[in-house]
Amino acid sequence: MSETKNCAAGADSLLCTGKATANTAGVQSKDEGQTAVQPERLIFRSMQLEDVPVICQIEQQAFTSPWTAEAFINELTNNHFARYMVMEWEDKVIGYGGMWTIMDEAHVTNIAVCEGYRGQGLGERLLHELQRTAVFFGAGRMTLEVRVSNEPAKNLYRKLGFEPSGVRPGYYSDNGEDALIMWAELDQVKAGAQDDED
Ligand SMILES: CC(C)(COP(=O)(O)OP(=O)(O)OC[C@H]1O[C@@H](n2cnc3c(N)ncnc32)[C@H](O)[C@@H]1OP(=O)(O)O)[C@@H](O)C(=O)NCCC(=O)NCCS
């Protein structure tokens, strides 16, 4: 993922702490601090400017060098190549991802799932939605960078067809960590989209 500055989150509420709230309709307790989500109730939609404060909260949870609110606003308003998506459940944003689609390539800029909602296939759903969206915009391949130490993310990417293709030495300025560059061909995603149309 790309490197940027600190996120100045404006949201006060604990919108995505993911604390288990048994007895709330549609919510089942999973582990302590975990919320089990019914996948059929997930909504994927384009990120809006109004989402930015919540996105910044998730961003701060998820990354040591989180993006600023300004960075997201700039992406949403000035970057015609940028496509950002949020994953919503029970009216809460619980994850998001973004990419740039340029010609037949998509470059993932960030992806994150709220802490309390991880480990139940949501990151996989989200990345698959990003891949489907990339195909919709004409991409045949997708790339990203990931910290070499980020095993959960690397596993997720491998699971969705990404393979390592190189290293950017010292890419992350906070600790000088290397970035692993990964690429995925989107043929299977394209074939799936074609089946849906038929
Ligand atoms: C990476 C991230 C998006 C994964 O989201 P998630 O919802 O927990 O992932 P899923 O439950 O969909 O898991 C999908 C696959 O990812 C891998 N994975 C997820 N969590 C893992 C963990 N803690 N350890 C090892 N592998 C893991 C597994 O391969 C898993 O498939 P499996 O369940 O069949 O083993 C999430 O951990 C996150 O937001 N991390 C912080 C932000 C981040 O690092 N983003 C990536 C930047 S490059």
How many angstroms from the chain centroid is the CA of residue 48? Answer: 15
Mean pLDDT of 167-188: 97
- The four Cα atoms 101, 61, 15, 92 give a dihedral, to 10 degrees, of 30
Nearest to 99 by CA among 9, 11, 195, 184: 184
Q: Is the pLDDT of residue 193 over 90?
A: no
40-73 confidence digits (pLDDT tens)? 999 999 999 999 999 999 999 999 999 999 999 9
Closest residue CA from atom 26 of ligand 1 = 152
Q: Is the minimum distance from the CB of 123 to ligand 1 under 6 angstroms? A: yes
What is the pLDDT, as a whole number, of residue 70?
98
Homologous superfamily of domain range 28-197: Gcn5-related N-acetyltransferase (GNAT) (3.40.630.30)
Pocket test for ligand 1, best of 109, 110, 155, 162 (most atoms within 8 A of CB): 155
What is the pLDDT, as a whole number, of residue 197?
78
Pocket test for ligand 1, best of 3, 64, 118 (most atoms within 8 A of CB): 118
**Residues β-bridged to residue 143:** 107, 183
106-125 confidence digits (pLDDT tens)? 999 999 999 999 999 999 99
Rounded distance between C-alpha atoms, residue 114 and residue 196, angstroms: 30
Mean pLDDT computed over every residue of the chain:
87
Instruction: Please state, in angstroms and as integers, the Cα–Cα distance from residue 24 to each residue in 12, 53, 80, 114, 118, following that order.
Output: 22, 25, 40, 19, 19
Q: Respond yes or no: is residue 157 known to be catalytic.
A: yes
Mean pLDDT of 8-29: 37
What is the pLDDT, as a whole number, of residue 77?
98
Contact 111, 119 (CB under 8 A): no
What is the pLDDT, as a whole number, of residue 31?
54
